[in-house]
Structure 1
Amino acid sequence: MSITIRQAQPQDAQAVVPLIIDAIGDIANRLTGEQEPEAIERELAVLFKREDNRHSYLNTFVAVEDEKIAGILVYYNGEQAIEMDANLVNWLAAKNAPNIIIDKEAHEDEYYVDTICVVPEARGKGIGTLLLQFAIDQTKKRGFNKLSLNVETKKEQAIRLYERTGFVITEPWSIIDEPFHHMVKKI
Protein backbone atom coordinates (compact mmCIF):
# COMPACT_ATOMS: atom_id res chain seq x y z
CA MET A 1 0.00 0.00 0.00
CA SER A 2 1.54 3.27 -1.14
CA ILE A 3 -0.28 6.26 0.28
CA THR A 4 0.84 9.85 0.10
CA ILE A 5 -0.66 12.78 1.98
CA ARG A 6 -0.75 16.16 0.32
CA GLN A 7 -2.37 19.57 0.65
CA ALA A 8 -5.78 19.61 -1.02
CA GLN A 9 -6.33 21.75 -4.10
CA PRO A 10 -9.56 23.51 -5.19
CA GLN A 11 -9.98 20.98 -8.02
CA ASP A 12 -10.26 18.20 -5.38
CA ALA A 13 -13.73 19.43 -4.35
CA GLN A 14 -15.67 16.71 -6.18
CA ALA A 15 -13.81 13.96 -4.28
CA VAL A 16 -13.46 15.76 -0.93
CA VAL A 17 -16.91 17.28 -0.35
CA PRO A 18 -18.82 13.95 -0.15
CA LEU A 19 -16.31 12.76 2.47
CA ILE A 20 -16.79 15.91 4.53
CA ILE A 21 -20.56 15.38 4.40
CA ASP A 22 -20.15 11.70 5.31
CA ALA A 23 -18.10 12.67 8.35
CA ILE A 24 -20.06 15.65 9.67
CA GLY A 25 -23.64 14.67 8.79
CA ASP A 26 -26.25 17.27 9.70
CA ILE A 27 -23.58 19.80 10.62
CA ALA A 28 -23.19 20.28 6.84
CA ASN A 29 -26.74 21.64 6.72
CA ARG A 30 -25.90 24.33 9.24
CA LEU A 31 -22.54 25.17 7.65
CA THR A 32 -24.14 25.68 4.24
CA GLY A 33 -27.57 26.98 5.22
CA GLU A 34 -29.11 24.34 2.97
CA GLN A 35 -31.38 21.33 3.45
CA GLU A 36 -31.42 19.51 0.10
CA PRO A 37 -28.51 17.11 -0.49
CA GLU A 38 -27.58 18.58 -3.88
CA ALA A 39 -27.60 22.14 -2.49
CA ILE A 40 -25.54 21.10 0.55
CA GLU A 41 -22.94 19.49 -1.69
CA ARG A 42 -22.87 22.45 -4.10
CA GLU A 43 -22.48 25.05 -1.33
CA LEU A 44 -19.89 23.02 0.59
CA ALA A 45 -17.89 22.88 -2.67
CA VAL A 46 -18.09 26.69 -2.77
CA LEU A 47 -16.74 26.85 0.80
CA PHE A 48 -14.03 24.30 0.01
CA LYS A 49 -12.76 26.41 -2.91
CA ARG A 50 -12.65 29.57 -0.80
CA GLU A 51 -9.69 30.41 1.46
CA ASP A 52 -11.44 31.96 4.48
CA ASN A 53 -13.34 29.23 6.32
CA ARG A 54 -12.79 26.01 8.23
CA HIS A 55 -13.59 23.72 5.28
CA SER A 56 -11.31 25.50 2.83
CA TYR A 57 -8.92 23.45 0.76
CA LEU A 58 -6.18 25.33 2.64
CA ASN A 59 -7.17 23.44 5.82
CA THR A 60 -7.62 20.11 4.06
CA PHE A 61 -5.15 17.33 3.41
CA VAL A 62 -5.86 14.31 1.25
CA ALA A 63 -4.53 10.77 1.40
CA VAL A 64 -3.93 9.53 -2.12
CA GLU A 65 -3.70 5.89 -3.13
CA ASP A 66 -3.28 4.89 -6.79
CA GLU A 67 -3.83 8.52 -7.84
CA LYS A 68 -7.27 8.58 -6.16
CA ILE A 69 -8.28 10.40 -3.01
CA ALA A 70 -8.78 7.72 -0.37
CA GLY A 71 -9.22 9.92 2.70
CA ILE A 72 -9.32 13.46 4.01
CA LEU A 73 -8.21 15.44 7.02
CA VAL A 74 -9.60 18.91 7.78
CA TYR A 75 -7.23 20.45 10.32
CA TYR A 76 -6.64 23.96 11.66
CA ASN A 77 -5.63 26.09 14.62
CA GLY A 78 -8.29 26.83 17.23
CA GLU A 79 -7.34 30.51 17.32
CA GLN A 80 -7.71 30.81 13.53
CA ALA A 81 -11.15 29.19 13.81
CA ILE A 82 -12.54 32.36 15.40
CA GLU A 83 -11.94 34.44 12.27
CA MET A 84 -12.82 31.58 9.90
CA ASP A 85 -16.15 31.05 11.66
CA ALA A 86 -16.88 34.80 11.60
CA ASN A 87 -16.31 34.70 7.82
CA LEU A 88 -18.67 31.73 7.58
CA VAL A 89 -21.38 33.51 9.60
CA ASN A 90 -21.08 36.55 7.30
CA TRP A 91 -21.37 34.32 4.21
CA LEU A 92 -24.44 32.61 5.65
CA ALA A 93 -26.01 35.94 6.61
CA ALA A 94 -25.50 37.22 3.05
CA LYS A 95 -27.40 34.13 1.86
CA ASN A 96 -30.20 34.77 4.40
CA ALA A 97 -29.53 31.30 5.77
CA PRO A 98 -31.37 30.11 8.88
CA ASN A 99 -29.52 29.04 12.04
CA ILE A 100 -26.32 30.95 11.42
CA ILE A 101 -24.81 30.12 14.77
CA ILE A 102 -21.53 28.26 14.35
CA ASP A 103 -20.52 26.28 17.41
CA LYS A 104 -16.96 26.67 18.67
CA GLU A 105 -15.17 23.34 18.28
CA ALA A 106 -11.70 23.93 19.72
CA HIS A 107 -9.78 25.95 22.26
CA GLU A 108 -7.46 28.66 20.95
CA ASP A 109 -4.29 26.89 22.12
CA GLU A 110 -5.01 23.68 20.20
CA TYR A 111 -4.66 22.43 16.68
CA TYR A 112 -7.91 20.75 15.81
CA VAL A 113 -8.92 17.75 13.72
CA ASP A 114 -12.26 18.96 12.39
CA THR A 115 -12.92 16.13 9.97
CA ILE A 116 -11.29 12.84 9.14
CA CYS A 117 -12.89 10.40 6.73
CA VAL A 118 -11.84 7.54 4.46
CA VAL A 119 -13.70 6.37 1.36
CA PRO A 120 -15.75 3.25 2.18
CA GLU A 121 -13.77 0.93 -0.10
CA ALA A 122 -10.48 1.90 1.60
CA ARG A 123 -11.61 1.61 5.21
CA GLY A 124 -9.68 -0.82 7.37
CA LYS A 125 -6.37 -0.17 5.57
CA GLY A 126 -5.01 2.19 8.22
CA ILE A 127 -5.54 5.38 6.18
CA GLY A 128 -7.42 7.09 9.01
CA THR A 129 -4.55 6.31 11.37
CA LEU A 130 -2.04 7.69 8.83
CA LEU A 131 -4.05 10.92 8.58
CA LEU A 132 -4.22 11.19 12.35
CA GLN A 133 -0.45 10.64 12.63
CA PHE A 134 0.04 13.29 9.94
CA ALA A 135 -1.97 15.76 12.10
CA ILE A 136 0.15 14.86 15.13
CA ASP A 137 3.37 15.43 13.16
CA GLN A 138 2.10 18.72 11.73
CA THR A 139 1.07 19.95 15.17
CA LYS A 140 4.58 19.28 16.46
CA LYS A 141 6.17 21.01 13.43
CA ARG A 142 3.96 24.05 13.99
CA GLY A 143 5.16 24.36 17.57
CA PHE A 144 1.94 23.42 19.35
CA ASN A 145 1.67 20.88 22.14
CA LYS A 146 -2.03 20.00 21.96
CA LEU A 147 -4.05 18.33 19.21
CA SER A 148 -7.77 18.01 19.77
CA LEU A 149 -10.88 16.57 18.20
CA ASN A 150 -14.52 16.07 19.07
CA VAL A 151 -16.23 12.73 18.76
CA GLU A 152 -19.88 11.87 19.25
CA THR A 153 -20.34 10.16 22.59
CA LYS A 154 -22.03 7.16 20.94
CA LYS A 155 -19.16 6.45 18.50
CA GLU A 156 -17.37 3.97 20.75
CA GLN A 157 -15.19 2.46 18.01
CA ALA A 158 -13.85 5.90 17.05
CA ILE A 159 -13.26 6.77 20.70
CA ARG A 160 -11.18 3.58 21.12
CA LEU A 161 -9.13 4.44 18.01
CA TYR A 162 -8.39 7.91 19.34
CA GLU A 163 -7.51 6.55 22.78
CA ARG A 164 -5.08 4.06 21.20
CA THR A 165 -3.45 7.04 19.48
CA GLY A 166 -3.00 8.81 22.82
CA PHE A 167 -6.04 11.07 22.95
CA VAL A 168 -7.87 11.43 26.26
CA ILE A 169 -11.34 12.75 26.94
CA THR A 170 -10.90 16.13 28.63
CA GLU A 171 -14.43 17.55 28.74
CA PRO A 172 -17.96 17.27 27.42
CA TRP A 173 -18.74 19.35 24.32
CA SER A 174 -21.86 20.21 22.37
CA ILE A 175 -22.17 20.73 18.63
CA ILE A 176 -25.61 21.54 17.22
CA ASP A 177 -27.02 20.51 20.58
CA GLU A 178 -25.60 16.99 20.29
CA PRO A 179 -23.27 15.50 22.93
CA PHE A 180 -19.60 15.05 22.05
CA HIS A 181 -16.41 14.23 23.90
CA HIS A 182 -13.59 16.75 23.49
CA MET A 183 -10.42 14.68 23.25
CA VAL A 184 -6.86 16.01 23.45
CA LYS A 185 -3.48 14.49 22.72
CA LYS A 186 -0.49 16.18 24.33
CA ILE A 187 2.36 16.43 21.85
Structure 2
Amino acid sequence: MIRQATPADATAISHLIISAMGPLAAKFANSDDPAKQLELFQHFAKLTGNQYSYTNILTWDEQGETCGMIMAYDGAKLEVLRRPFLNYTRTKLGFTGTPEDETQHGEYYIDCLAVLPGHQGKGIAKKLFNALFERAEELGHATVGLLVDKGNHKAKKLYTDLGFVEQGEKQLLGGTHYHLQKNLY
Protein backbone atom coordinates (compact mmCIF):
# COMPACT_ATOMS: atom_id res chain seq x y z
CA MET A 1 0.00 0.00 0.00
CA ILE A 2 1.31 3.43 -0.94
CA ARG A 3 0.70 6.30 1.44
CA GLN A 4 2.00 9.72 2.44
CA ALA A 5 4.72 9.44 5.07
CA THR A 6 4.20 10.91 8.55
CA PRO A 7 6.61 12.07 11.27
CA ALA A 8 6.12 8.68 12.96
CA ASP A 9 7.86 7.08 9.95
CA ALA A 10 11.14 8.93 10.60
CA THR A 11 13.15 5.87 11.66
CA ALA A 12 12.02 3.65 8.78
CA ILE A 13 12.42 6.51 6.29
CA SER A 14 15.92 7.27 7.58
CA HIS A 15 17.13 3.71 7.08
CA LEU A 16 15.85 3.84 3.50
CA ILE A 17 17.39 7.27 2.83
CA ILE A 18 20.77 6.03 4.03
CA SER A 19 20.43 2.93 1.86
CA ALA A 20 19.63 5.07 -1.18
CA MET A 21 22.39 7.61 -0.54
CA GLY A 22 25.18 5.14 0.12
CA PRO A 23 28.48 6.93 0.87
CA LEU A 24 26.85 10.38 0.62
CA ALA A 25 25.06 9.77 3.94
CA ALA A 26 28.43 9.38 5.69
CA LYS A 27 29.72 12.55 4.02
CA PHE A 28 26.77 14.62 5.24
CA ALA A 29 26.95 13.14 8.75
CA ASN A 30 30.73 13.62 8.68
CA SER A 31 30.94 10.14 10.17
CA ASP A 32 31.09 6.48 9.16
CA ASP A 33 29.09 5.66 12.31
CA PRO A 34 25.69 4.35 11.12
CA ALA A 35 24.06 5.58 14.36
CA LYS A 36 25.15 9.17 13.65
CA GLN A 37 23.88 8.96 10.09
CA LEU A 38 20.56 7.58 11.31
CA GLU A 39 20.24 10.31 13.94
CA LEU A 40 20.86 13.02 11.31
CA PHE A 41 18.22 11.79 8.89
CA GLN A 42 15.69 10.98 11.64
CA HIS A 43 15.98 14.57 12.83
CA PHE A 44 15.13 15.97 9.39
CA ALA A 45 12.58 13.33 8.38
CA LYS A 46 10.37 14.44 11.31
CA LEU A 47 10.45 18.10 10.30
CA THR A 48 8.86 20.13 7.51
CA GLY A 49 10.60 22.64 5.25
CA ASN A 50 13.63 20.55 4.22
CA GLN A 51 14.45 18.14 1.43
CA TYR A 52 14.39 15.05 3.70
CA SER A 53 11.01 15.88 5.26
CA TYR A 54 8.27 13.29 5.52
CA THR A 55 6.15 15.75 3.51
CA ASN A 56 8.22 14.90 0.40
CA ILE A 57 7.96 11.13 0.83
CA LEU A 58 5.59 8.39 -0.27
CA THR A 59 6.03 5.01 1.42
CA TRP A 60 5.16 1.45 0.49
CA ASP A 61 3.90 -0.58 3.44
CA GLU A 62 3.37 -4.33 3.65
CA GLN A 63 2.01 -6.08 6.72
CA GLY A 64 2.69 -3.07 8.94
CA GLU A 65 6.27 -2.58 7.72
CA THR A 66 7.58 0.31 5.64
CA CYS A 67 9.37 -1.58 2.87
CA GLY A 68 10.09 1.23 0.44
CA MET A 69 9.96 4.93 -0.16
CA ILE A 70 10.35 7.58 -2.82
CA MET A 71 11.24 11.19 -2.03
CA ALA A 72 10.73 14.10 -4.41
CA TYR A 73 10.25 17.86 -4.44
CA ASP A 74 10.12 20.86 -6.76
CA GLY A 75 13.62 21.42 -8.13
CA ALA A 76 13.05 25.18 -8.05
CA LYS A 77 12.95 24.93 -4.24
CA LEU A 78 16.25 23.06 -3.81
CA GLU A 79 18.14 25.95 -2.24
CA VAL A 80 15.39 26.71 0.29
CA LEU A 81 14.86 23.03 1.16
CA ARG A 82 18.59 22.29 1.38
CA ARG A 83 19.50 25.30 3.55
CA PRO A 84 18.31 23.99 6.98
CA PHE A 85 20.01 20.64 6.37
CA LEU A 86 23.34 22.18 5.33
CA ASN A 87 23.27 24.72 8.17
CA TYR A 88 22.73 21.90 10.66
CA THR A 89 25.37 19.58 9.22
CA ARG A 90 27.94 22.39 9.10
CA THR A 91 27.32 23.79 12.59
CA LYS A 92 26.55 20.56 14.47
CA LEU A 93 28.49 17.90 12.57
CA GLY A 94 31.41 19.72 10.93
CA PHE A 95 30.39 18.98 7.34
CA THR A 96 32.53 21.15 5.04
CA GLY A 97 31.35 20.11 1.58
CA THR A 98 29.47 22.26 -0.88
CA PRO A 99 27.06 20.06 -2.80
CA GLU A 100 26.43 20.98 -6.40
CA ASP A 101 22.86 21.63 -7.50
CA GLU A 102 21.46 18.20 -8.27
CA THR A 103 18.24 19.49 -9.78
CA GLN A 104 16.88 22.59 -11.47
CA HIS A 105 13.82 24.75 -12.12
CA GLY A 106 11.13 23.02 -14.15
CA GLU A 107 11.85 19.58 -12.70
CA TYR A 108 10.08 17.57 -10.02
CA TYR A 109 13.19 15.96 -8.56
CA ILE A 110 13.41 12.43 -7.18
CA ASP A 111 16.02 12.74 -4.45
CA CYS A 112 15.88 9.17 -3.09
CA LEU A 113 14.28 5.85 -3.86
CA ALA A 114 14.84 2.71 -1.83
CA VAL A 115 13.22 -0.69 -1.28
CA LEU A 116 14.36 -3.01 1.50
CA PRO A 117 16.44 -5.91 0.13
CA GLY A 118 13.93 -8.58 1.15
CA HIS A 119 11.21 -6.81 -0.84
CA GLN A 120 13.12 -6.04 -4.03
CA GLY A 121 12.04 -7.65 -7.28
CA LYS A 122 8.31 -7.37 -6.45
CA GLY A 123 7.62 -4.27 -8.54
CA ILE A 124 7.46 -1.95 -5.52
CA ALA A 125 9.81 0.64 -7.05
CA LYS A 126 7.68 0.83 -10.21
CA LYS A 127 4.53 1.30 -8.12
CA LEU A 128 6.22 4.07 -6.13
CA PHE A 129 7.30 5.74 -9.37
CA ASN A 130 3.78 5.60 -10.80
CA ALA A 131 2.33 7.13 -7.63
CA LEU A 132 4.98 9.84 -7.77
CA PHE A 133 4.23 10.59 -11.43
CA GLU A 134 0.57 11.09 -10.46
CA ARG A 135 1.58 13.40 -7.61
CA ALA A 136 3.87 15.40 -9.89
CA GLU A 137 1.07 15.86 -12.43
CA GLU A 138 -1.38 16.90 -9.69
CA LEU A 139 1.15 19.54 -8.60
CA GLY A 140 1.46 20.82 -12.18
CA HIS A 141 4.88 19.41 -13.05
CA ALA A 142 5.49 18.24 -16.61
CA THR A 143 8.99 16.83 -16.03
CA VAL A 144 10.40 14.46 -13.42
CA GLY A 145 14.16 14.17 -12.98
CA LEU A 146 16.71 12.17 -11.01
CA LEU A 147 20.40 11.36 -10.78
CA VAL A 148 21.83 7.87 -10.99
CA ASP A 149 25.42 6.95 -10.23
CA LYS A 150 27.31 6.17 -13.44
CA GLY A 151 28.20 2.73 -12.09
CA ASN A 152 24.64 1.74 -11.17
CA HIS A 153 23.61 0.10 -14.45
CA LYS A 154 20.71 -1.85 -12.90
CA ALA A 155 19.06 1.34 -11.61
CA LYS A 156 19.67 3.19 -14.87
CA LYS A 157 17.95 0.37 -16.77
CA LEU A 158 14.94 0.54 -14.43
CA TYR A 159 14.67 4.29 -15.02
CA THR A 160 15.04 4.10 -18.79
CA ASP A 161 12.45 1.29 -18.88
CA LEU A 162 10.11 3.73 -17.10
CA GLY A 163 10.65 6.32 -19.83
CA PHE A 164 13.48 8.41 -18.39
CA VAL A 165 15.95 9.80 -20.93
CA GLU A 166 19.56 10.75 -20.25
CA GLN A 167 20.08 14.53 -20.30
CA GLY A 168 23.80 14.60 -19.51
CA GLU A 169 25.94 14.27 -16.42
CA LYS A 170 26.08 16.07 -13.09
CA GLN A 171 28.66 16.08 -10.34
CA LEU A 172 27.59 15.65 -6.71
CA LEU A 173 30.14 15.68 -3.89
CA GLY A 174 32.85 14.02 -5.91
CA GLY A 175 30.67 11.54 -7.79
CA THR A 176 29.60 11.61 -11.41
CA HIS A 177 25.96 10.84 -12.10
CA TYR A 178 23.71 10.58 -15.12
CA HIS A 179 20.94 13.18 -15.09
CA LEU A 180 17.74 11.56 -16.38
CA GLN A 181 14.34 13.12 -17.04
CA LYS A 182 10.89 11.89 -17.94
CA ASN A 183 8.28 14.09 -19.58
CA LEU A 184 4.87 13.32 -18.09
CA TYR A 185 2.86 14.79 -20.96
TM-score normalized with structure 1 length: 0.93
How far residue 26 of structure 1 moved from its aligned partner, in angstroms, is 1.5
Across the aligned residues of Structure 1 and Structure 2, the Cα RMSD in angstroms comes to 1.3
CA distance in 2, matches of 1:130, 1:139: 14
Report the counterpart of residue 164 of structure 1 in structure 2: 161
Equivalent in 25, 28, 31 of residue 28 of structure 1: 25
Structure 2: how far apart are the matches of 1:28 and 1:10? 20
Deviations 1:163-186 (A, max 9, x none): 111000001111111110000001
Q: Following TM superposition, where does structure 1 have runs of at least 4 consecutive aligned residues deviating by more than 4 angstroms?
A: none
Counterpart-to-counterpart distance in 1, 2:15 and 2:74: 23
Q: In 1, distance between residues paired with 2:140 and 2:95?
A: 38
Unaligned stretches of 5+ residues in structure 2:
none
Given that residues 34 and 97 in structure 1 are in contact (C-alpha distance below 8 angstroms), is that contact kept between their aligned partners in structure 2?
Answer: no
- TM-score w.r.t. the length of structure 2 is 0.94
Aligned residue pairs total 184
Identity of aligned residues (%): 27
1:55 aligned residue (52, 57, 71):
52
**Match of 2:144?**
147
Equivalent positions of 1:1-187 (< 5 A) are 4-95=1-92, 97-187=94-184
Unpaired runs of 5+ residues, structure 1, are none
One-letter code of the match for 1:39?
K
Cα distance in 2 for partners of 1:78, 1:180 equals: 17
- Equivalents in 2 of 1:17, 1:169: separation in Å? 28
Q: Aligned equivalents of 1:42 and 1:31: distance in 2?
A: 12
- 1:100, distance to aligned residue in structure 2 (A): 4.0
Q: Is the 8 A contact 2:29 2:95 kept in 1?
A: no
